[in-house]
Amino acid sequence: METVSTMGSGSLGREVDLETLVAEIENALGQSVEANFTSDSIVTLRLDEDGPAYTVYRTGTFQVRGAASEDELAAAEDTFLDVLDEIGVDVPEYEFEHVTSVLMTDLERDVNLSALAVSLGLESTEYEPEQFPGVVYRPERFDCVLLVFGSGKVIVTGGWSREEAEYALDTLKEHVDEIAST
């Protein structure tokens, strides 16, 4: 299973003047930083052109999105902390946690989505092909969502544990194998 994207969320434990933050980061890095002010209380920054995006709220909470792996997410967190330290931002009560990952895999076979929705249980699935070309599967025992496409591609999102995602995928594969054998 391939990690497509990870996201983390945290808090600096203090309010932040966003315009000043962006100006000081640009000054410290000696380059323009891609900054998108959604409003006066939210800014999304990209410190590296192809790197993760940092969404910072005036309240001091922030998100790191678009890291390609958990290691890249940890490195992005370290980079953010280093930049804040370099510009002298005091971080009294720092918190950060990995919140979710998006994983993708291929079952390497076509899947009969109508039969799969019935096999998984209609209470755990959504399948309306005229609205979305896949089955949305919310397994009861796992805190994740699987999007299953007729081509056999599967996207797992919502959970932060790779182990949990793999267990949910194993459950899905059992149902796909059962359908294929009938």
| Cα–Cα dist 146/113, whole Å | 13
User: What is the spatial distance between Cα 92 and Cα 124, in angstroms, rounded to a whole number?
Assistant: 43
Percent of the chain residues topping a pLDDT of 90: 73
The Cα–Cα gap between 182 and 100 comes to: 36
Whole-model pTM over 0.85: no
Integer Cα distance of 177 and 26 in angstroms: 54
How many CA within 13 A on the CB side of residue 43?
20
Whether residue 162 is predicted with pLDDT greater than 90 in this model: the reply is: no
Query: Could you give all domains of the chain from N- to C-terminal order, each with its CATH number?
Result: 2-99 (3.30.310.180), 107-180 (3.30.310.10)
Contacts of 82 (CB under 8 A, 6+ apart): none
C-alpha distance from residue 34 to each of 37, 98, 168, 169 (Å): 10, 24, 38, 37
Q: Which residue has the higher pLDDT, 32 or 71?
A: 71
| Complete DSSP assignment for 1-15 | -EEEEEEEEEE-SS-
- What are the residues facing 102 on neighbouring strands? 5
Q: What is the pLDDT of residue 120?
A: 94
**CA 180 – CA 10 distance, rounded (Å):** 44
pLDDT at 127 over 80: yes
Q: How many CA atoms lie within 13 A of 4 on its CB side?
A: 9
Model confidence band, residue 28 (pLDDT cutoffs 50, 70, 90): confident
- In terms of C-beta density within 10 A (0-12 exposed, 13-18 middle, 19 or more buried), how is residue 122 classed? exposed
Please, are residues 3 and 71 in contact by the beta-carbon 8 Å criterion?
Answer: no
Tokens of 110: 């076509």
- The Cα 77–Cα 81 span in angstroms is 6
How far, in Å, CA of 96 to CA of 40, rounded?
Answer: 23
Q: What is the pLDDT of residues 78-88, one digit of tens each?
A: 999 999 999 99
